[in-house]
Amino acid sequence: MEAVYSCFREKLGQVILPGDVFCFDVSAVEGSAVRAERVICGPGLRRNGDEILVYKSGILRHKAPNLYWIDSQQKRYVPVKGESVIGIVTAKSGDIFKVDVGGSEQASLSYLAFEGATKRNRPNVQVGDLVYAQFTIANKDMEPELVCIDSCGRANGMGVFGADGLLFKVSLGLVRRLLAPQSEIVKDLEKIFPFEMVVGLNGRVWVKAKTVQQTLIVANLLESCENMTTQQRQVLFRRVAEGSL
Amino acid sequence: MKETPLSACERTFLLKAVEEKKRLDGRQTYDYRNIRITFGTDYGCCTVSLGKTRVLAQVSCELVPPKDSRPTEGIVFFNLELSPMASPAFQPNRQSELLVTLNRQLERCLRNSKCIDTESLCVVSGEKVWQIRVDVHVLNHDGNLMDAASIAAISALSHFRRPDVAIQGRDITIFSPEERDPVALSIYHMPICVSFAFFQQGTYLLVDPCEKEEQVTDGLLVIAMNKHREICSIQSSGGIMLLKDQVLRCSKIASVKVSEITDLINKALENDKRVRKEGGRFGFAESMPKERITALKRDEAPVEMTGVQEMAEEFLSKGEAAPEVVSSPVIVATGTGQLGEGVQSTWGLEEEDEEDECQGEMDKEEKKKKKAEKDEVMVISDSEEEEVVVLNPEAPKSKGKRPKH
Amino acid sequence: MAGLELLSDQGYRLDGRRAAELRKLQARMGVFAQADGSAYLEQGNTKALAVVYGPHEVRGSRSRTLHDRAVINCQYSMATFSTAERKRRPHGDRKSSEMSLHLKQTFEAAVLTQLYPRSQIDIYVKILQSDGGNYSACVNAATLALVDAGIPMRDYVCACTAGFVEDTPLADLCHAEESGGGTTLALALLPRSESIALVQMDARLHQDHLDPLMEAAMTACKGLSKVLDSVVRQHLQEVSVQTRE
């Protein structure tokens, strides 16, 4: 384990650029037998034989026990298979809906890809609605396709939503921070007042709180979390919490 | 390039916020965003930032023969360009409606009001006059281009200095800036445009709409005034119906705003003059803040917090007792979990899905990572003809080279 | 322009009218057999011709189709012989485009477009002789043409210009008065509800004078609407006489 960690540890928390390579020289390890190590490459890292290549610029981050990824700052989203995004329905043509996900082209969403939808029983989707869906096809050669059900045929939280509430855009780095399992930002925000939030990996976030005022506060706080350190953020949240409650 | 369409949910939210007199960034209904006016190193170059909207104006001059119908007057020419860098909605070389509207409004506001003394631009009557050209470029579009463009144009004109000329008989000598100090234009007054956005058939109005608010507005009323309370131009656009009192009320609000903005412009001009005289550094490079990534930076937006406590207490007293807080996730179905304030949602059927989504998303990420750990090498390739990624963690053996059906 | 008094001491204007007097208005409807609706209007020496086609299918770019309303397409042009000097460019210059845009906005507010979704209504206006008040003549002619075509509107749209000389508002300006350098206010009004569809003003005017000026313009518009009403009724009378057995 040490071999891998030592390679990464030097660069942990530093800025690395695309083209940097982490190569594990097995022969350099002395002493005890080499054990099979497992390294999970998150976004920004890719495996190439015995090396790990970096393809996004940013800061190297690590999560125990063996997850590594690059924290990058990017505003434009490129569709990736399996990611869940918030899309806006722009057109209904025949059997499919055209959905804008913020990428280079619009994705298509078949009307049968909703829970309980059949040819007779069409889902109630209008132009201008928000949908939370997942990519089934997202590569450079084909038009991206979305579905609102998982492989079992259940909605699983996806579908049309958001009759009220506010939709806004943040950078992709912030979205990943929000979606991390123990996100501190979300925990801090929960303490201020209750709200609902849907986060799409294409940088779109939807929030709804009990009043318009609270919704605006939450939206502004989230947008300002982009470039603040943890301390500044906590100070700001505490100020807001004292002002409101 | 196509711009992001406006979803129905955003539209309803914005209209609801307008009804409650709340704006997206916490301003009051009659407030302007932060205005910053900076001048460049050359005379006549000015950048105005109105919140995130940025506009650049440049004034230049040239000696030309005058128009036949007006042999003793100089020519003032305005040109506004919508650069595609400002917004994905602008396309190059296209005469769009917005471009025509902005250009005509700028011309009417500044030329028809005769703010510049054109007679003083005459050098030799009937033969040579100065042609002043004002070019306005929009650098970033975040709503309310008209106001920003008019402030930039009039500031640039006030800042501009034309070369001095001497006439001896029929010979005209133009002095370069080194030989003789250039001369300022004589400007009678400063007309400034103020935009009012109307919503819900004229019931609500906002000053200085930002881009999102502009997309849901019914119509716009632009009033150009100067600080002597003279109206230089009124123009209503969009298919709205106005009443006479609305127009009169808007003109009163506009006079207040215009005097504030005129003071701001004068102060900026004074500052620039002072810095140039003292030999300090001036120009755009100085006015840009250093060392920061400016694209994603936001100024702290003051958001109104008053009254929230009373409202919160009201809700608490009226609502039912808070449901118990469950700290460890309750697995409802495969891939979905619930966490937090009670297992059953009290807000209605639709909202159930959203709460699940938020928590379910987190669970899904965890499960995905766990799944990846089970295998040796998990190659996420782009080609969709290889294996199918199954999200169901109960069937670990499903990772096989199963062809897509 | 020295020597030209816009308002003499006895209260007479350049063409002998009083301050609040309108020019003579003559109009005919149904002048063209081919168009769905047409009208010819003379306001003093200003002559305008308006032709309406529609509602018909959206031609040109399909993307302009609105799913819940009709699109209104206006084109304004001046004949080359309409002004004192020959006009070199009848269409396409900025002033014509702006005027077309204003006409479109005026009629979008007045026509009940919700009744004809996914269709287009064309309004073409041509100025044959220009002597001040171009915009008002266009609007009045187009109103009559729309009535002739049978397209439902909320009310008559009447437009008139007004000016201000020595504390007296003048109604319905002619060309010499417009270019004299004083204030010109153009107003399009729906008389019954007193709502203003379009207001446009150039040149300097003190804020306190705005009220009387708008009042004068609105009174003039109401007077105009009575004349237009009588023209419509007379035309219908003539037409029905011919179709009666």
Q: Which chains border C (3 or more CB–CB pairs < 8 Å)?
A: B
For the cut 80, the answer to whether the pLDDT of residue B304 exceeds it is: no
Q: Is residue C19 domain-resident?
A: no
Give me the residue from B300, B312, B354 closest to A245, CB to CB: B312
B167 interface with A at CB cutoff 8 Å: no
C-alpha to C-alpha distances, C194 to B397, C224, C225, nearest whole angstrom: 75, 13, 12
For the cut 50, the answer to whether the pLDDT of residue C60 exceeds it is: yes
B104/C98 touch (CB, cutoff 8 Å), yes or no: yes
A217/B305 touch (CB, cutoff 8 Å), yes or no: yes
**Rounded to an integer, what distance in angstroms lies between the CA atom of residue B247 and that of residue B219?**
13
Our CA-based measurement puts residue B102 at a distance from the nearest CA of chain C, in whole angstroms, of 10
Arithmetic mean of pLDDT over chain A: 82
pLDDT tens for A30-79 read 444 555 667 788 778 888 887 888 888 888 887 777 788 887 777 888 88
Q: Is residue C51 domain-resident?
A: yes
Residue A35, pLDDT score: 59
B94-116 mean pLDDT: 83
Cα angle, residue C98 at apex, residues C97 and C101 outer, rounded to 5°: 90
| Range in A12-21, B139-148, C58-67 with the lowest mean pLDDT | C58-67
Q: Is residue C34 domain-resident?
A: yes
Residue at token pair 């008065």: C177
A94 shares its domain with A125: yes
Q: Which residues pair with B161 in a beta bridge?
A: B184
Arithmetic mean of pLDDT over chain B: 75
For the cut 90, the answer to whether the pLDDT of residue B136 exceeds it is: yes
Residue B286, pLDDT score: 59
Q: Is residue A197 domain-resident?
A: yes
User: For residue C68, what are the domain limits?
Assistant: 25-243
For the cut 80, the answer to whether the pLDDT of residue A229 exceeds it is: no
Chain A residues in contact with B373 (beta carbon < 8 A): 38, 40
Which residue from C minimizes the CA distance to B253? C207
B395 interface with A at CB cutoff 8 Å: no
User: Cα A231 from chain centroid?
Assistant: 24
For the cut 70, the answer to whether the pLDDT of residue C222 exceeds it is: yes
For the cut 60, the answer to whether the pLDDT of residue B35 exceeds it is: yes
Residue C159, pLDDT score: 93
| C-alpha radius of gyration, chain B, whole number | 30
C194 interface with B at CB cutoff 8 Å: yes
List all residues 6 or more positions away from C222 whose beta carbon is below 8 Å from its beta carbon: C158, C189, C191
**Rounded to an integer, what distance in angstroms lies between the CA atom of residue A74 and that of residue A77?**
8
Question: Which of the four pLDDT bands, split at 50, 70 and 90, describes residue C136?
Answer: very high
Our CA-based measurement puts residue C195 at a distance from the nearest CA of chain B, in whole angstroms, of 5
Q: Which residues pair with B59 in a beta bridge?
A: B134
Give yes or no for a contact between A169 and A76, defined as CB atoms under 8 angstroms apart.
Answer: no
pLDDT tens for A172-201 read 888 888 887 777 788 888 888 888 889 999
A12 shares its domain with A66: yes
C190 interface with B at CB cutoff 8 Å: yes
B360/A157 touch (CB, cutoff 8 Å), yes or no: yes
Q: Structurally, how many domains does chain A consist of?
A: 3
CB interface of A with B, residues 20-49, below 8 Å: 38, 40, 47
B255/C98 touch (CB, cutoff 8 Å), yes or no: no
Chain C residues in contact with B255 (beta carbon < 8 A): 207
Give yes or no for a contact between C39 and C141, defined as CB atoms under 8 angstroms apart.
Answer: yes
Residue B311, pLDDT score: 57
B333/A163 touch (CB, cutoff 8 Å), yes or no: no
For the cut 50, the answer to whether the pLDDT of residue A121 exceeds it is: yes
B185-198 mean pLDDT: 90
Regarding the domain delimited by B21-282, which CATH topology (the fold level of the hierarchy) does it fall under?
Ribosomal Protein S5; domain 2 (3.30.230)
CB interface of C with B, residues 61-80, below 8 Å: none
C196 interface with B at CB cutoff 8 Å: yes
Q: Is residue C12 domain-resident?
A: no
Give the helix/strand (H/E) hosting A228: none
**Rounded to an integer, what distance in angstroms lies between the CA atom of residue B333 and that of residue A149?**
14
Give yes or no for a contact between A96 and A148, defined as CB atoms under 8 angstroms apart.
Answer: no
Domain ranges of chain B: 21-282
Chain length of chain A: 245
**Rounded to an integer, what distance in angstroms lies between the CA atom of residue B191 and that of residue C145?**
39
| Range in B51-65, B249-263, C83-97 with the lowest mean pLDDT | C83-97
Chain C residues in contact with B101 (beta carbon < 8 A): 98, 101
CATH number of the domain residue A14 falls in: 2.40.50.100
pLDDT tens for B234-275 read 888 877 888 888 888 888 999 999 999 999 899 988 888 888
CB interface of A with B, residues 104-123, below 8 Å: none
Residue B327, pLDDT score: 53
For B76: left if phi > 0, alpha if psi spans -120 to 50, otherwise beta; the answer is beta
Q: Is residue A76 domain-resident?
A: no
Which residue from B minimizes the CA distance to C213? B244
Q: Which chains border A (3 or more CB–CB pairs < 8 Å)?
A: B
Give yes or no for a contact between A86 and A181, defined as CB atoms under 8 angstroms apart.
Answer: no
CATH number of the domain residue C143 falls in: 3.30.230.70
ipTM of predicted assembly, 2 dp: 0.83
Give the helix/strand (H/E) hosting B395: none
Cα angle, residue A65 at apex, residues A59 and A67 outer, rounded to 5°: 40
B97 interface with A at CB cutoff 8 Å: no
Question: Which of the four pLDDT bands, split at 50, 70 and 90, describes residue C124?
Answer: very high
Closest CA to C76 of C89, C59, C58: C89
* Long-range contacts (CB closer than 8 Å, 24 or more residues apart) made by B397-400: B399/B375
B31-39 mean pLDDT: 88
Cα angle, residue B186 at apex, residues B185 and B188 outer, rounded to 5°: 140
Residue B308, pLDDT score: 58
List all residues 6 or more positions away from A121 whose beta carbon is below 8 Å from its beta carbon: none
Give me the residue from B100, B252, B255 closest to C98, CB to CB: B100
pLDDT tens for B323-339 read 455 555 556 556 665 56
Which residue from A minimizes the CA distance to B301? A220
Give me the residue from C106, C202, C210 closest to B108, CB to CB: C202
How many CB pairs (< 8 A) connect B and C? Answer: 93
B256 interface with A at CB cutoff 8 Å: no
B10 interface with A at CB cutoff 8 Å: yes
Question: Which of the four pLDDT bands, split at 50, 70 and 90, describes residue B363?
Answer: very low
Rounded to 10 degrees, the C-alpha dihedral B386/A42/B337/A218 comes to -130
B7 interface with C at CB cutoff 8 Å: no
What percent of chain B has a predicted confidence (pLDDT) above 90? 12
Q: Which of A71-80, B308-317, C118-127 has the highest mean pLDDT?
A: C118-127
Chain A residues in contact with B377 (beta carbon < 8 A): 47
B325 interface with A at CB cutoff 8 Å: no
Give me the residue from A150, A220, A243 closest to B391, CB to CB: A150
Beta strands in A17-83 (DSSP E): 21-23, 40-41, 45-48, 51-54, 58-63, 67-71
What percent of chain C has a predicted confidence (pLDDT) above 90? 31
C229 interface with B at CB cutoff 8 Å: no
**Rounded to an integer, what distance in angstroms lies between the CA atom of residue A195 and that of residue A203?**
19
Beta strands in A72-214 (DSSP E): 84-93, 96-100, 107-110, 130-137, 145-147, 159-161, 166-169, 195-199, 204-209
Give the helix/strand (H/E) hosting A191: helix A184-192
For the cut 50, the answer to whether the pLDDT of residue C2 exceeds it is: no
Residue B284, pLDDT score: 66
C-alpha to C-alpha distances, A73 to A59, A171, A173, nearest whole angstrom: 10, 7, 5
CATH number of the domain residue A122 falls in: 2.40.50.140
Residue B149, pLDDT score: 93
**Neighbour-count burial for B21-30, b at 16+ CB within 10 Å, e otherwise:** ebbbbbbeee
A57 interface with B at CB cutoff 8 Å: no
Q: Structurally, how many domains does chain C consist of?
A: 1
For the cut 80, the answer to whether the pLDDT of residue C224 exceeds it is: yes
Which residue from B minimizes the CA distance to A233? B300
Q: Is residue C13 domain-resident?
A: no
- DSSP reduced 3-state for B351: helix
Chain B residues in contact with A226 (beta carbon < 8 A): 296, 298
Give me the residue from C198, C203, C214 closest to B236, CB to CB: C198
Arithmetic mean of pLDDT over chain C: 86
Give me the residue from C94, C198, C201 closest to B100, CB to CB: C94
**Rounded to an integer, what distance in angstroms lies between the CA atom of residue B245 and that of residue B249?**
6
| C-alpha radius of gyration, chain C, whole number | 18
B95/C97 touch (CB, cutoff 8 Å), yes or no: yes
C202 interface with B at CB cutoff 8 Å: yes
Give yes or no for a contact between A138 and A146, defined as CB atoms under 8 angstroms apart.
Answer: no
Q: Is residue A211 domain-resident?
A: yes
Give yes or no for a contact between C7 and C180, defined as CB atoms under 8 angstroms apart.
Answer: no
Q: Is residue A29 domain-resident?
A: yes
Q: How many alpha carbons lie under 13 Å from residue B133 in its C-beta half-sphere?
A: 9
Our CA-based measurement puts residue B57 at a distance from the nearest CA of chain A, in whole angstroms, of 29
Residue at token pair 């000696």: B63
What percent of chain A has a predicted confidence (pLDDT) above 90? 13
Locate C97 and state its tokens. 């485009």
**Rounded to an integer, what distance in angstroms lies between the CA atom of residue C138 and that of residue C186?**
12
**What is residue B33's DSSP assignment?**
-
For the cut 90, the answer to whether the pLDDT of residue A6 exceeds it is: no
**Rounded to an integer, what distance in angstroms lies between the CA atom of residue B12 and that of residue B3?**
19
Q: Is residue C10 domain-resident?
A: no
Which residue from B minimizes the CA distance to A65? B373
For the cut 50, the answer to whether the pLDDT of residue B4 exceeds it is: yes
C102 interface with B at CB cutoff 8 Å: yes
User: For residue A43, what are the domain limits?
Assistant: 2-71
Our CA-based measurement puts residue B280 at a distance from the nearest CA of chain C, in whole angstroms, of 39
| C-alpha radius of gyration, chain A, whole number | 21
Chain A residues in contact with B10 (beta carbon < 8 A): 166-167
Which residue from A minimizes the CA distance to B16? A212
Q: Which residue has the higher pLDDT, B284 or C245?
A: B284
A213/B361 touch (CB, cutoff 8 Å), yes or no: no
SS (H, E, C) chain C: CCCCCCCCCCCCCCCCCCCCCCCCEEEEECCCCCCCEEEEEEECCEEEEEEEEEEEECCCCHHHCCCCCCEEEEEEEECCCCCCCCCCCCCCCHHHHHHHHHHHHHHHHHECHHHCCCEEEEEEEEEEECCCCHHHHHHHHHHHHHHHHCCCECCCCEEEEEEEECCEEEECCCHHHHCCCCEEEEEEEECCCCEEEEEEEECCEEHHHHHHHHHHHHHHHHHHHHHHHHHHHHHHHHHHHHHCC
Question: Which of the four pLDDT bands, split at 50, 70 and 90, describes residue C127?
Answer: very high
B372/A151 touch (CB, cutoff 8 Å), yes or no: no
Enter the pTM of the model.
0.76
Residue at token pair 């445009």: B193
